[in-house]
A = this chain, B = another copy of it.
Amino acid sequence: MDLSRLRDDFPLLKRKHIRYFDTAATSLTPRPVVARMKDYYENLSANVHRGVYTLSHEATEQYEAARATIARFINAFPEECVFTRGASGALNMVALGLAEKIAEGDEIVVSELEHHSNFLPWLHLAKKRRAKLVFVPLTDEGRITTENFASVLTERTKIVALTHVSNVLGYTTPVEEITRLAREKEAYVVIDAAQSVPHIPVDVKRIGCDFLVFSSHKALGPTGLGVLYGKKERLEEMDPIEYGGDMVDLAEKDHATWQDPPIKFETGTPPIAEVLGFAEAVRYMERIGRAEIKRHGENLRAHTMEKLRAMEGVTIHNESTEGSLISFNIDGVHPHDAVTILDSEGFALRAGHHCAQPLMAWLSVPATLRASFYIYNTISECDGLVEAVGRARDYFLSP
């Protein structure tokens, strides 16, 4: 597939002469996705699950068909996919949903590689239930390995919550092996796939995890939407987390019963336009091909990495990464200052802790620069980035 053509689908790339390297924060949104939402608002615009009239029925059909599309993308059943506010919202739902299962002294395994959204809900849960938060020791490179995971897995491990792909270092966690080990101890496995779903094939059945979450806006879809995958049995045995319209079956003054999953976990009017838009994004990714998406991102990363590595005065934090992003610093230049220089030339990339303060502490830096690569980036943009990094370094460091 000729990826250079696809840049036309992303008006931002043209209009502002932007070189966009911040997909790991949020991806750009291609025209067909925006068009799909516009079409909903202009030609349908009805609520789902409630109306008997044609418009509302059509909205419901399209909404559920979109769920099926999104579910298939991760090899899940539609009823295993709950729509949420975002990956963060989904992680909080799981943490609330599992709260009752956690007793004093139980262990919850996380890592220092986690995004705050897959760390703080567990820290809070641990404090509330007097459970113990256990960190998988990272390797020298900053990786989670099966071995290191096995070293902290105990009979008391009740939840394992790990990132699939790190948003700072791009490493892929061996989630299949880890899940297998964890399930032997009957621990619940929660995978944060916010950074994997946009980039690499994700198959929930193959992973075998109990829960897996991701966000639409990082995978070509709209803001305001995330997905909580939950294994059928898990969702069935779990109590509702939010109560109200739609998720209820029978509501009496002192008693209520619930719908089956996924509706049991979707009270209120859902993000209808967003779900339709995200299904379109999924189709967009499928048209390109997931192998191609992965290959392209990794290529750009490898190309850029090679050049950055050859550059003096640059420290790279994830040289061995297999992912589609590079975390680095210009020695002696605060990432903020660096990013201002780069920004002034139209390069959009991130300077900060990337919602991963524990990892910054582990790396002993206050913040890093992060360039993330996606389908719409090109080799020549990457070359431009490397040159701009050089100029930023010289600007600050030349006497």
A interface vs B, CB < 8 Å?
11-12, 15-16, 18, 20, 22, 25-26, 28-29, 31, 33-34, 37-38, 41-47, 50-56, 84-89, 91-92, 95, 112, 115-121, 123-124, 133, 135, 215, 217, 222-226, 242-246, 248, 250-254, 256, 267-274, 336, 339-340, 342-343, 347-352, 354-355, 357-358, 361
Contacts and interface: CB of A to CB of B under 8 A. Distances in A.
Given A224-B273, A271-B85, A120 B348 contact: no
Q: Quick one: copies of this chain in the complex?
A: 2
A355 to B, nearest CB: 4
A88 B271 CA distance: 12
A271 B26 CA distance: 12
30 contacts: A11-B42, A22-B56, A28-B41, A28-B45, A31-B42, A33-B41, A34-B37, A34-B42, A38-B38, A50-B350, A50-B354, A51-B350, A53-B339, A54-B343, A85-B268, A86-B269, A88-B245, A89-B267, A91-B244, A116-B251, A116-B267, A119-B251, A120-B256, A124-B243, A215-B268, A224-B225, A224-B274, A245-B355, A253-B358, A274-B274
A46 B348 contact: yes
Contact of A120 (B112, B244, B355): B244
Contacts of A339: 52-53
B243 A120 contact: yes
Nearest to A118: B244
Contacts of A31: 42
Nearest to A225: B224
A52 B120 contact: no
A43 B12 contact: yes
Contacts of A350: 50-53, 56
B123 A53 contact: no
A43 B15 contact: yes
Contact of A267 (B52, B92, B252): B92
| Interface of A (DSSP majority class) | mixed
Contact of A88 (B225, B226, B242): B242
Contact of A46 (B22, B50, B121): B22
B342 A53 contact: yes
A159 to B, nearest CB: 15
A133 B224 contact: no
A354 to B, nearest CB: 8
Contact of A223 (B250, B253, B254, B269): B269
Contacts of A361: 252-253
Contacts of A120: 243-244, 248, 251, 256, 267
Given A215-B269, A251-B358, A269-B86, A25 B43 contact: no
Contacts of A54: 343, 348
Given A26-B269, A34-B42, A123-B243, 20 more contacts: A12-B43, A18-B55, A20-B55, A22-B47, A25-B50, A33-B41, A50-B350, A51-B351, A53-B343, A85-B271, A87-B268, A88-B269, A89-B268, A116-B248, A117-B267, A120-B243, A120-B251, A121-B243, A123-B256, A224-B271
Contacts of A22: 46-47, 51, 53, 56
Interface centre among A92, A226, A268 (most CB of B within 10 A): A268
Contacts of A351: 51-52
A7 to B, nearest CB: 13
A25 B47 CA distance: 6
